[in-house]
Chain A
């Protein structure tokens, strides 16, 4: 049995406390009206405030001035909305990242069950520990969606008031055309179904796995096999729709067909990386006596392979749109390249170049410190990836990785550590009667 070390527990509480303070600070310092925005803009304009061109003719100049004044106000309002969105978006990125990360682990776990993998059963309890975050993360996430739906924040443009109403100043013909799909009741019902479906699988799978320990036949194992197969079918459908609902709809004028796969690859590799990190941690504390370097090596190969898979999808999405250069599609990438240049290409370096060069070596895949380093870079890289997917649609040019962003990550990281390691204390770390457990104990590559 694992015991949650008090040091780690304190660490997780500190992370949550610091995170909460930072999140609060982010909300308090967000500008309230356009006067605040004007001050902020004046502070970092460095004297490059655009001068109204001095046209000499009287009436002409006046109308130009009025027009410039209106444009200026419009600009301020635009920036105000971005800055108001900033702390919310920071929270959203961290919230969805950790929730999907544990979902990625759950999918990996389900695949291992269905594939009847002989190497991984010694890691099942570690995976179940990580997926214990899923119900907690889902609650936070669902509350966030409800807040968006009740107009507490304005992250989803299509949830804005008057967007679908003809004649309203906010009327948007394109969004109105999609309102059969993108409307709050239908959207929140979909979210409910998906979250309940995933959590139900996690709950029953864990229950059956524990029951299998005490059973005298393999009926619970077979049950788990069946529900895992059904979960995977449900998952791949729900995952695709989820990615449209929660991420792609942030840019409601843009769409991409492989987006679901792309999002999946991102959180799937994060989940696998997290399994490797928690395993290495527990192993270093002496809790996983049956886990050897071959198990770690296998996880590292998955990290390597799925990192390349992510890159393949990243590039396929980017290159197809770049190549055809259709105006309504390309704006998505124009925004990211011009305004998010470093995070956009930095994510490729962190999620592809670095892991590929480090993890291609067989010996390196067994060296703990190299693996931990690669894992940290991959996890940060996929945070940046989610940042790139979400921020341009919500805060646009006003992005910055500052207090709000870091604090949100720290809060959810603390929560994640607390929930996961508490869950690990609830059951022995070695499943007793799994039909493949002996093979897994002696797995050697």
Chain B
């Protein structure tokens, strides 16, 4: 089976949104949409599942909080409980206010950085990664919808021409 896809290219985000809605209504499977900037509501129109990145960040934050707490407790209370300027190092809670800035920063640090790394991994982004741009204009001022073709090429092409596309291409993907 040949891997044919349709590239329907638009030059306006409102027309793109309408086209996405029509495509979904006609039950054609949208492989991907390329836009030069975030189009508000596009994910909803495409029916994409909401991101769980925030949940990850919350869990990472808890890890950071635990790490900060464990570290300060081990160093300052368990390992070498020195008297430093009269600060009470008998138990963690006795000296906790002094550790709060560290606990807070560890929480933010873990939450932020691990969330960003998670984002890079999930969206497969790294230096020297080969760009997957189907048409150079999509980073500037054009919008591109990619739809898989299953033996209904004629019908699909005419369908997308009816959605206000400025260009409809059929591409053989390897």
Chain A residues proximal to chain B, CB less than 8 Å: 315, 318-319, 322-323, 325, 360, 362
Please tell me if the beta carbons of B97 and A325 are within 8 angstroms of each other in the complex. no
The answer to whether B98 touches A325, judged by C-beta atoms less than 8 angstroms apart, is: no
Offer 6 A-B interface pairs, CB within 8 angstroms, sorted by A. Answer: A315-B100, A319-B97, A322-B97, A323-B98, A325-B86, A360-B58
* A315 vs B54: C-alpha distance when bound (angstroms): 26
Nearest CB of chain B from residue A125's CB, rounded to whole Å: 30
Write out the residue numbers on chain A whose beta carbons fall within 8 Å of the beta carbon of B100: 315, 319
With a cutoff of 8 Å between Cβ atoms, the chain A residues found around residue B98 in the complex are 319, 323
Contacts of B54 in A (CB 8 A): 362
| Identity of the chain B residue whose Cβ is nearest the Cβ of A321 in the assembled complex | B97
Which residues of B sit under 8 angstroms from A362, Cβ to Cβ? 54
> What 3 A-B pairs have minimum CB-CB distances, sorted nearest first?
A319-B97, A322-B97, A323-B98
B97 touches A323 (CB 8 A): yes
* Number of A-B contacts defined by CB within 8 Å: 12
Taking beta carbons and an 8 Å cutoff, which residues of B are in contact with A? 54, 58, 86, 97-98, 100
**Beta-carbon nearest neighbor of B101 in chain A:** A319
CA A362 to CA B50, docked complex, whole Å: 12
A319 CB contacts on chain B under 8 angstroms: 97-98, 100
In the complex, what residues of A have CB within 8 A of residue B86's CB?
A: 325
Q: Give the CA-CA distance A362 to B57 in the complex, in Å.
A: 14
Nearest-CB residue, chain B, relative to A315: B100
* 10 extra interface residue pairs, beta carbon distance < 8 Å, beyond A318-B97, A319-B97: A315-B97, A315-B100, A319-B98, A319-B100, A322-B97, A323-B97, A323-B98, A325-B86, A360-B58, A362-B54
Q: How far is the CB of A342 from chain B (nearest CB, A)?
A: 16
B36 CB to closest chain A CB (Å) equals: 24
Query: Inside 8 A of A325's CB, which chain B residues have their CB?
Result: 86
Which B residue sits closest to A318, measured CB to CB? B97
What separation, in Å, do the CA atoms of A315 and B99 have in the docked complex? 12
Across the interface, which residues of B come within 8 angstroms of A315, CB to CB?
97, 100
Complex: chain B residue closest to A362, CB-CB: B54
- Closest Cβ of chain A to B58, distance in Å, is 7
Q: How far is the CB of A439 from chain B (nearest CB, A)?
A: 15
Cβ of B97: which chain A residues have Cβ within 8 Å of it?
Answer: 315, 318-319, 322-323
